[in-house]
Amino acid sequence: MTQLLRRRTALGLAGAALLPLPALAQARPAWPDRPVRFLQGFAAGGTTDILARLVAPQMAAAFGQPVIVENRPGAGGTLAAEALARATDGHTLMMLNNGFAVSAALYRRLPYDPRADIEPVAMLASIGLVLLAGPDGPRDMADLVRQAQARPEALNVATVGVGSTQHFVAEAVQAAGGFRLMHVPYRGTPAAIVALRNGEVQVVSETASAVLGQLRSGEVRALAITSPRRSALLPDVPTVAEALGVPFDVETWYAIGAPARTPPSVVERITEVARGLVANQELRARLADLGLSPREPGTPAETRTTVHAEIGRWAEVIERTRMERQ
């Protein structure tokens, strides 16, 4: 009996040795073969969180595995980015946004290398930021510029924090318009809006989707939007380029990121799913409701080039505005 088993085992091994390599590769489980963690580095309820939770079920359907959104807020998204960079399970992704590039430009030391440790894979969407005024604030951008030039740093601009995308965009607008405001950071958009209504600050810099409710209710007014074109949700709000008469094009983008050294086959699979997401008409309608514009995912190489160029762009803003690096 033992001799018969040995003979069968030998025949089985011989048959396996003759099996072509592609057939052996097909025998391995396809990626993903277990649930996928989808990190995002900001508080619940923000645009990044909303978008991650909007696309996660559709990603899960495409992958055939659950996609679990995991919030790791703090330090401008760098806590989540560190977790992504250190992930070794092969099943961790992240919703990157403009804050990833801003942090890479702002912080002298990070617990990861933004260019070497994280792989930007596919773009999903983008949105402009708006400069808001309160009921008694500047009437329009021209009025804001006049007041600010007459009294440099006498007017305050609120954002959700030092080094945030909102802060950097506010600095970029001031540089483009040749005026100076005093930056006042707040812990979240609601606190900044309350300060605006109370007259503690004269301007707020925030993503359009985060303040649509306040804009529609008339609590605040939008002076300008930073995107290259007017928003379909805010058609009467001029772009910064229109209002200042200078070239200006800044949007917050959202992309899927993976740890560096992710196998090319997995990167291509993620890209394929991203293309399907952006082409989905139902999802495009939901994005439009949030004021988000779908972005062509592009190739991983194109996405990497775009994100790395953004890091350089914000480094130039730091140098030009003489912001202190952290």
The tokens of 112 are what? 């990861």
Cα end-to-end distance, the chain, whole Å = 74
- What does residue 245 show for φ and ψ, rounded to 5 degrees? 70, 30
For the segment 27-71, what is each residue's pLDDT rounded down to a tens digit?
A: 445 899 999 999 999 878 778 999 999 999 999 999 999 999 999
Residues near 63 by beta carbon (within 8 Å), at least 6 away in sequence: 32, 36, 273
The tokens of 169 are what? 């965009």
- 241 pLDDT higher than 60: yes
**Residue found under tokens 């006049």:** 146
**Taken in order 253, 258, 264, 266, is the CA torsion positive or negative?**
negative
pTM over 0.75: yes
Among 208, 209, 99, smallest CA distance to 161 is for 99
Q: What are the structural domains of the chain?
A: 36-126+252-321 (3.40.190.150), 128-244 (3.40.190.10)
For the segment 174-221, what is each residue's pLDDT rounded down to a tens digit?
A: 999 999 999 999 988 889 999 999 999 999 999 888 888 899 898 899
